Amino acid sequence: MIAIACDHGGLELKRVLCRWMDGKNIRYEDLGTDSTASVDYPVFAHRLAAGVAGGTWEKGVLVCGTGLGMSMAANRHRGIRAAVCTDPYTAEMARRHNEANVLCMGGRMVGPMMAERILETFLLAEFEGDRHSRRIALIETDVKD
Ligand code: RB5
């Protein structure tokens, strides 16, 4: 099961992605926001990231205006690897090499068809493990400050 959330800047694209998942019978939980009223994206990013880090959801999708603020907030959580993707190749590599568990997209950046392809790729691509596992461990452990 995956979780999806957005702020006002990502609402329209989140609705597109939810419709796409409905059509594919992909199960997800929608954590909001549900209106165009201005909200603070970190609230939604932290809620989703905490759930993914804690095992409630296997993966997450965050949509704001650019995807950037959502990724910055989500990546503060241990075990979360949130990747902003604007094309399917990046989404594929985010999974295969970086084992990204949160996909971030910008509702003001990518069109609906591209976003659907990005999400599909993110959900299908598998982590390759091997040397990439060592590098991912270093992301968590090799912080010097
Ligand atoms: C909201 O206007 C915008 O700042 C937000 O959606 C996001 O793009 C932040 O990174």
Helix (H, G, I), strand (E, B) or coil at 6: strand
pLDDT of residue 36: 96
CA 102 to chain CA centroid, Å, is 3
More confident residue, 48 or 145: 48
Listed in order, strand segments (DSSP E) in 7-120 are 28-30, 59-64, 82-84, 102-106
Q: Is the pLDDT of residue 134 over 90?
A: yes
Using one digit for the tens of pLDDT, what is the confidence trace for 18-50? 999 999 999 999 999 999 999 999 999 999 999
pLDDT of residue 76: 96
pLDDT of residue 124: 98
More confident residue, 141 or 112: 112
pLDDT of residue 140: 86
The pLDDT confidence band at residue 130, using thresholds 50, 70 and 90, is very high
- Residues with Cβ within 6 A of ligand 1? 7, 9, 41, 64-66, 68-69
Distant-in-sequence, close-in-space partners of 118: CB < 8 Å, separation ≥ 6: 85, 86, 87, 88, 90, 91, 103, 105, 110
Mutate to test the pocket of ligand 1, among 7, 8, 75 (most ligand atoms within 8 A of CB): 7
Using one digit for the tens of pLDDT, what is the confidence trace for 47-93? 999 999 999 999 999 999 999 999 999 999 999 999 999 999 999 99
pLDDT of residue 131: 95
Ligand 1, atom nearest to 8 Cα: 6
Is 97 annotated as catalytic? yes
The pLDDT confidence band at residue 141, using thresholds 50, 70 and 90, is confident
pLDDT of residue 32: 97
* Residue range 130-145: mean pLDDT, rounded: 89
Is 64 annotated as catalytic? yes
**The token pair that represents 101 in the structure block:** 């568990």
pLDDT of residue 11: 98
